[in-house]
Structure 1
Amino acid sequence: MVNFDSRDPGTPAADWDASGIRNAPPFDLSGFTGLLVVGAHPDDETLGAGGLIALATDAGIPVHVVVVTDGGADGGDDTAERRSAELREALDELGDGIEVTELGFPDGGVLEHRDAVGAALAQILGNADAATLLAAPWTGDGHRDHRVAGDLVLEHAGGRTVAEYPIWAWHWGDPAEMPLPVDRLRGVRVDADRKRRAISRYPSQVEGPEPMLHAGVVEHFVRDREVFVVSEPARSGLRRDYFERIYERREDPWGYVDRWYEQRKRAATLGALPSEHYECALEIGCSIGVLTEQLAERCAELVAVDVSARAVERARERVGDRARIAQLDATASLPEGPFDLIVLSEVGYYFGDALDDVLARTVDALAPSGDLVACHWRHPVEDYPLSGDDVHARLDAWGLTRLVRHEEADFLLEVWSSDARSVAQREGLA
């Protein structure tokens, strides 16, 4: 996560305005039947999505606001109660009839209560209409509670569109380095005065000798446009229910555990890794965690994701706490990098015409000297939108240096890197 101090002056709002970021392409809200806004703390919903909430209520779209923590970490015994009252007063400024759910987890403790928070959000999101727009903190915002809350919404989105709102990134970020993913930014025009009134309903945050939200911070949120990082559902790839049906029928649908073919291929994949050890790695499409278990031995930190809830459950049982395993649709988003290793094994051909978006996010998440490993089955499969060779051809077009190419009739294994040095050169032998 990013280290920052809310008391610092931070990046002026005018710098972001001058960067043109608020001129992001417009976000089309037509077609959504509801808006469900998740905030890590009371005030996140108003700061990040207050204008969107007001637009929805004005349009007669039902709005449900869910706040994960009680916001009580920065004050006395009555802080949580005060912030709960402030939340409702702020929402009254934004519109009528807004449903509010306060989960009441400890402020600053979302990671420690991740499973319980995830279960609560899964139930709430599961009851939402399929055409509900979800809004949540941006996972790259730099605050741990924001990251975990955003991760969990993406994990349980169930194919719905997710609009992630930055909060602290406006404060610590530098427009010249653009920490936000430009390709997924979308903007909506909002009533800045109405939003300012709503923010003022949080005196515990904006008043006092050293307010958490000083005037320079608040200025970021009273512009006439809100900006979101938008993750849309998969397009023409295989959807989550396809995989849930497969895992429902069989514990290990592809024979990862017992087949010699799979054991040999894993050994080839692990042997092709250019480095013996990685600090932070990402595995996209971890299935039941057989490769994950072995990758974890080579990584200080490993994040593994899969679209199937059943696969994720089995992977967690297999791997335990040696990796962080999450249910996530890679066609909608990826965990925030950078990662010095990304593994894309037997998954790329499922993405269909969303593959290029997945690869763009994958390359963007790669560390400056990171390695990208891909391994795919080459024989035709009627269900798969793409072939393994198609996936590797698309990967090759990204211009990374290919360090390894292992080609057999059955599978293609390749390693690309932004570090052009060979293994011997990295070891100082050549």
Structure 2
Amino acid sequence: MTFDAAAPGTSAAVWAADARTHDRPPLDLDGATALVVIAAHPDDETLGAGGLIATCAERGLPVTVVVVTDGAGSHPDDPRIGRRRAGELLVALDLLGVTTAPVLLGFPDGGTREHREGIAAALAAVLEAVVREEPDGTTAGAPGRILVAAPWTGDGHRDHRVVGEIVRELVARDAAWLTLLAYPIWMRHWADPDHAAVPWESMRALAIDARRKSAAIDAHSSQHAGEEPMLHARFLENFRGGIELFVVEEAAPAAAPPAAPLGADYFEALYARRDDPWRLASRWYEQRKRDATMAALPAERYSSALELGCSIGLLTERLAERCDALLAVDIAEEAVALARRRLAESPSSAAESAAVRIEQHDALRALPKGTFDLIVLSEVGYYADLDALDRLVPAIEAALHPTGALVACHWRHPVADYPLRGDDVHARLARSSLERTVSHVERDFVLEVYARDGRSVAEREGLA
């Protein structure tokens, strides 16, 4: 989609005259516990969700506003425009009743695609912080009640699309807590009510205080004042009415997960067919992932480590080189036998000298007794169901030494047999009492390190 912002565009009167603008189902705010509004540029939050912001603020809900870019692209020759737009944002939010300072990420205007990974990490951190503030039991099996308003991905502006896509992915990862409300902005300019791209069926309407929102729009004067305004009065009229529209996509019904975590029989059957069911020894993907896992370990050496789900012992062999004592467990008897054989035949002198024990144990039912300064949860968590995961995470927290680290790594793609996805596991870890100190996310896997001591490696060594 391309469009000319200088062109007149569709008038507010055309949109207002269409019955669909007024007969959309109401946006349900009952039960909402917090609002996070994410904008690509300063003023998007006011145009797209200013009425929602004011409504939630009046209800006493915590409101967090996050602006991804500095907005400097509107006047590239003015070195002060970024600072000016940030000041206008503060005034607008004050008019809307927001008392909390906005989060200004400061990425370059127009550069969201080039900085996609950094933006995703920064927004994930904000959302995780908001989720951490939720009281226990908020979800109770219902859809998430933390509302996340973000640009609609079909809006036609690249920054809006990229930020919208990022937020959509993050909300999908933590749908038990979050509900996405997508707000269109430029759609009102390039489309008309009969345009095929207008998602009428997914739209929900919120009645708002139009005068309050209009005052907040006026605060962004750098965008609409002067002889050559960026936003023309005709365009802004689309946002001065008494209704805001949000695209709310209904979640598809999920397939019923298995009633219980996968048991020993499932894995014994896999090993009966092949000694290395996942081809851990032959795939470069697996070797590279082990290298990444070892590189993520924040300490040079560990006195006592626990590996949950060791399979045939390839990662176990590497961990033994960095540990004085290592307990590796697996639910499958055949896996334990293969791992013991591998460690016995290991050419690594470090592995030979380490005190390595490999035992058959179902860690999803109960952790082995003891305290460990390293716990490795690699490609195991998604074998649990939600109840088992809710037991496992606190058990890991209790078993971790105060100076220790939890290293977690999981495949992100869905597997029909598994009760959970890797992202589900890491979303639960993010709500633990531990602090995330490392986050490496690829399309295929997520690798994270959690610790009670949140200092970085450089900070621990006195370098930072």
- TM-score norm. by structure 1 comes to 0.57
Does 2:152 correspond to 1:138?
Answer: yes
| Contact 2:69/2:105 (8 A) holds in 1 | yes
For the residues of structure 2 that align with 1:175 and 1:316, how far apart are their CA atoms? Answer: 40
Q: Number of residues paired by the alignment?
A: 266
Equivalent position of 2:43 in the other structure: 43
Distance 2:196 2:241 in 1: 19
CA contact 2:224–2:231 (8 Å) conserved in 1: yes
CA contact (8 A) 1:161 1:232 kept: no
Q: Does 1:227 align with 2:245?
A: yes
In the alignment, the residues of structure 2 paired with residue 45 and residue 53 of structure 1 have an alpha-carbon distance, to the nearest angstrom, of 8
Q: Percent identity?
A: 45
What's the CA shift for 1:131?
2.8
Q: Distance in 2 between matches of 1:287 and 1:63?
A: 31
Find 2:183's aligned residue among 140, 165, 173.
165
Q: Structure 2 matches for 1:2-401, cutoff 5 A?
A: 2-23=1-22, 24-75=24-75, 76-129=78-131, 131-157=145-171, 158-159=174-175, 160-233=178-251, 235=253, 237-238=255-256, 288=413, 308-309=422-423, 315-316=443-444
Alpha-carbon separation, structure 2, partners of 1:289 and 1:232: 20
Distance in 1, matches of 2:206 and 2:424, equals 37
One-letter amino acid matched to 1:9 = P
Aligned equivalents of 1:115 and 1:53: distance in 2?
Answer: 27
Instruction: Tell me how far apart the structure 2 counterparts of residues 44 and 191 of structure 1 sit (CA, whole Å).
Output: 18
Q: Is the 8 A contact 1:46 1:195 kept in 2?
A: yes
Q: Name the SS for the 1:133 alignment partner.
A: strand
Q: How far off is 1:132 after superposition?
A: 1.1
Q: What's the CA shift for 1:17? A: 1.5
Per-residue CA deviation, residues 291-321 of structure 1 (Å, 9 max, x unaligned), is xxxxxxxxxxxxxxx975399956457xxxx
Query: Secondary structure, in 3 states, of the residue corresponding to 1:188?
Result: strand
Report the secondary structure of 2:204's partner residue. strand
Q: CA separation in 2, counterparts of 1:255 and 1:150?
A: 38
In 1: Cα distance, 2:30 partner to 2:64 partner: 18
* Equivalent position of 1:352 in the other structure: none
Encode CA deviations 1:9-63: one digit per residue, 9 max, x unaligned. Answer: 0011111122223221101101110000000000000000000000001111110
Task: Give, in whole Å, the separation in 1 of the partners of 2:255 and 2:130.
Answer: 23
Deviation of 1:120 (Å): 0.3
The code of the aligned residue for 2:63 comes to: V
- Cα displacement string for residues 355-390 of structure 1 (whole angstroms, at most 9, x for unaligned residues): xxxxxxxxxxxxxxxxxxxxxxxxxxxxxxxxxxxx
Say whether the 8 Å CA contact 2:206–2:243 is kept in structure 1: yes
Separation in structure 2 between the aligned mates of residue 96 and residue 315 of structure 1, nearest angstrom = 36
Deviation at 1:5, TM superposition (A): 1.3
Post-superposition Cα deviations, 1:124-166, rounded to whole Å, max 9, x if no partner, equal: 1112236310000000000010011111111111101100000
AA of the residue aligned to 1:103: L
1:234, distance to aligned residue in structure 2 (A): 5.5
Confirm or deny: 8 A CA contact 2:182 2:247 kept in the other structure. Answer: yes
CA–CA separation in structure 1 for the residues paired with 2:107 and 2:52: 25
Unaligned runs of 5+ in 2: 132-143, 262-266, 271-275, 281-410, 426-439, 446-464
Q: 1:185 to 1:29 in 2, by over 3 A?
A: same
Q: Is the 8 A contact 2:413 2:422 kept in 1?
A: no
Q: 1:256 to 1:175 in 2, by over 3 A?
A: farther
SS in 2 for 1:57: helix
TM-score normalised per structure 2: 0.53
Q: 1:316 to 1:209 in 2, by over 3 A?
A: farther
Write the distance in 2 (CA, Å) between the matches of 1:55 and 1:255.
Answer: 54
Which secondary structure state, in structure 1, belongs to the residue aligned with residue 161 of structure 2? helix
Q: How large is the Cα RMSD of the aligned pairs? A: 3.2
- Kindly tell me: are residues 138 and 257 of structure 1, through their superposed partners in 2, closer, same or farther at Cα, counting changes over 3 Å? farther
| CA displacement, residues 221-267 of structure 1 (integer Å, 9 cap, x when unaligned) | 0111000001355645458xx99xxxxx99xxx97889xxxxxxxxx
Structure 1: state its 5+ residue gaps.
244-248, 259-285, 291-305, 318-430
Mapped partners of 1:237, 1:208: distance in 2: 55
Aligned CA distance change for structure 1 residues 10 and 256 (closer, same or farther; 3 Å): farther
C-alpha distance in 1 between matches for 2:2 and 2:60: 40
Cα distance between partner residues in 2 of 1:73 and 1:122: 25
Provide closer, same or farther for how the CA distance between residues 110 and 238 of structure 1 changes in structure 2, counting only shifts above 3 A: farther
2:8 aligned partner, one-letter code = P
Contact 2:414 2:421 in 1 (8 A): no
Which residue identity is paired with 1:136? A
